[in-house]
Amino acid sequence: MSEAANSTKGDYIQMDEVDWVPFPEHLCTGDIKFKLLHVSPERGGWTAIYDCKAGSSFGPHTHLGPSEYFLLKGRMQVRGGEAAGGATAVAPGYAYELCDVHHDHTEFDEDSELLMIVYGPLNYIDDGGKTIALVGCSQMLEFWNASR
Amino acid sequence: MSEAANSTKGDYIQMDEVDWVPFPEHLCTGDIKFKLLHVSPERGGWTAIYDCKAGSSFGPHTHLGPSEYFLLKGRMQVRGGEAAGGATAVAPGYAYELCDVHHDHTEFDEDSELLMIVYGPLNYIDDGGKTIALVGCSQMLEFWNASR
Amino acid sequence: MSEAANSTKGDYIQMDEVDWVPFPEHLCTGDIKFKLLHVSPERGGWTAIYDCKAGSSFGPHTHLGPSEYFLLKGRMQVRGGEAAGGATAVAPGYAYELCDVHHDHTEFDEDSELLMIVYGPLNYIDDGGKTIALVGCSQMLEFWNASR
Amino acid sequence: MSEAANSTKGDYIQMDEVDWVPFPEHLCTGDIKFKLLHVSPERGGWTAIYDCKAGSSFGPHTHLGPSEYFLLKGRMQVRGGEAAGGATAVAPGYAYELCDVHHDHTEFDEDSELLMIVYGPLNYIDDGGKTIALVGCSQMLEFWNASR
């Protein structure tokens, strides 16, 4: 079933029968797990669901293509949250995020669940702005296969 | 807020603060409502959430591009359901559906909620296979604006 | 080599070693031939080159997704040409055409050559606006395979 | 006219009336010029034509999405050319190149002209594999606007 992520066929995935795997430690802090649902090399993107425990956050990154997200549970502070000029998403929330958006702080202050449809690679950077990892559909598939 | 569906900017939508509107009667039976979340003319597609009450169904249609769905609540019989050689989706379920997939029966036997990301128009047909309506991002936006 | 049109691998095509095949008669008038270069089911589109002899024209159609064209040789009257409020493309010309553009007259008054990158199906219609053919990547592939 | 590259409307460009501008020196060697024809933030890509004089080459880069090219004039050695296990494109040639393809040597031994349709950013790297520049549609637009 879970090989659907690597399938060129259409495929149904019973999401609650697929195990969560840890999201790579160098790309986040705290407890973030994910399930890869689909990779689409022709659009250079992928679809995944993330389980983000209270206190976790994604490392700073820039989206090199647009993306869409659905926050199904919890709360997510995007670009520092509303207090810092960013957005505070509260479930059920949706956003279309533009190509080239930079997410320097993406924090979860409650247990949260996030669906993402991504249309291009993510450039994870360090404090000096240097690339730590370029994460496209191939890298997501490597993370997924390595953890299982 | 709800104009986000027609926006070229990225936008956050607090989904529970947007009202449901009826899905066009000639394209479904029973009680189906939707919220249009995004239209993307450059990909020829859109993103929407559907509230499908028990006993409702979408009319027969062919997807002229791929699509992805998340069944968040309830149960959906796709192409007649498993009993008829199709699939039965039970929340939480996900599928990537191929370009050209034909959905002749898409039935909800429980109150259900469905997210869809669509990458091309839908060809709704009658029993004789004739086109009733070609529904792309422009038509979805017309439905949305007409109901509000 | 020419099976590249149906390949999921990347592929090089030596374009002058592939034979032209006639474009379906019910979708054009006069002498139009084509070579299918790529189909992309994930984007619901395709890439092709057309050889359009003087006096030929494509039948009326609407693009249900965006498209791009390069006119490499000759002249093309789009939507009746400039004289009728449309555009007159003269090689070397390029256009990005929006989703939902309707092309009721696309005429070649000189021998012309046209590259097209298409991101959604075409709805070919008759004088009364009724659908004659919905032409997506699958139908293009059928035309291509049937003629060879 | 040339603002079409930045337009969200569809637009016709008379290609021979747009001036060539130099491609950034740190991303190529020799004489390479380009015209930006379209940027598509929703697909995270762009369309451009390149004028590559004999002896020029693009710097090593990886395509973080698929791409398509048409070689209209001349000859291009891709990944070292056929002699080195790569491909030698001779006009008129076309290729669909997969997501994640690495182009370490892309050399023009004749005056050549190349159309490219790109679906994701390019990662230009140095000899040690470090990123020199991530070039997406925004960066291409900056190069284009800076040179004119």
- The pLDDT value recorded for residue B9 is 47
- The pLDDT value recorded for residue D17 is 95
CA distance B9 to A101: 11
**What's the CATH class of domain B39-146?**
mainly beta
Percentage of chain C modeled with pLDDT above 70? 93
Decide if D93 and C14 are in contact by the 8 Å CB cutoff.
yes
Q: Which of C37, C40, C33, C34 is nearest to C3 (CA)?
A: C37
A39: distance to nearest CA of chain C, Å? Answer: 11
| Domain C23-146 part of CATH 2.60.120.10 | yes
Q: How many CB pairs under 8 A join B and C?
A: 70
CB C113 within 8 A of CB D24: no
- The pLDDT value recorded for residue A10 is 57
Q: Give, rounded to a whole angstrom, the gap between the first and last alpha carbons of chain A.
A: 13
Locus of tokens 């296969």: A145
Does residue D60 have a cis bond before it (omega within 30 degrees)? Answer: no
Nearest Cβ partner for C15 among D14, D47, D93: D93
- The CATH number fitting domain D2-146, selected from 3.50.50.60, 1.20.120.550, 1.20.1640.10, 2.60.120.10: 2.60.120.10
Decide if D64 and A121 are in contact by the 8 Å CB cutoff.
yes
Selected for mutation to probe chain B from A70, A78, A106, A113 (highest B CB count within 10 Å) is A70
Q: Tell me which residues of chain B have a pLDDT lower than 50.
A: 1-9
CA distance C106 to C55: 11
**What's the CATH class of domain A22-146?**
mainly beta
Compute the Cα dihedral for D115, D121, D123, D124 and give only its sign: positive
- The pLDDT value recorded for residue C105 is 81
Residues of B44-79 as b/e, b for ≥16 C-beta within 10 angstroms? bbbbbbbbbeeebbbbbbbbbbbbbbbbbebbbbbb
A86, closest residue in chain B (CA to CA): B12
CB B24 within 8 A of CB B142: no
Q: Is the pLDDT of residue C6 over 90?
A: no
Q: Is the pLDDT of residue C8 over 50?
A: no
- The pLDDT value recorded for residue B85 is 77
Taking only the tens place, the pLDDT of each residue in D5-36 is 444 445 899 999 999 999 999 999 999 999 99
D36, closest residue in chain C (CA to CA): C94
The two structure tokens encoding residue D131: 């990123």
Taking only the tens place, the pLDDT of each residue in D64-94 is 999 999 999 999 998 777 777 778 999 999 9
Decide if A65 and D65 are in contact by the 8 Å CB cutoff.
yes
Q: For residue B44, list chain A residues with Cβ-Cβ distance below 8 A.
A: none
Taking only the tens place, the pLDDT of each residue in A133-145 is 999 999 999 999 9
Window from B8-22, C116-130, D44-58, D101-115 with minimum mean pLDDT: B8-22
Reported as a pLDDT band with limits 50, 70 and 90, residue C59 is: very high
CA distance B138 to C4: 33
Compute the Cα dihedral for B29, B1, B65, A139 and give only its sign: negative
A42: distance to nearest CA of chain D, Å? Answer: 6
Taking only the tens place, the pLDDT of each residue in C71-126 is 999 999 987 777 777 789 999 999 999 999 999 889 999 999 999 999 999 999 99
D111: distance to nearest CA of chain A, Å? Answer: 31
With an 8 Å Cβ cutoff, is D102 touching chain B?
no
Nearest Cβ partner for C12 among D4, D40, D93: D93
- The pLDDT value recorded for residue C10 is 57
Domain residue ranges of chain B, discontinuous segments joined by +: 39-146
Cα angle for residues B93, B94, B95 (degrees, 5° grid): 135
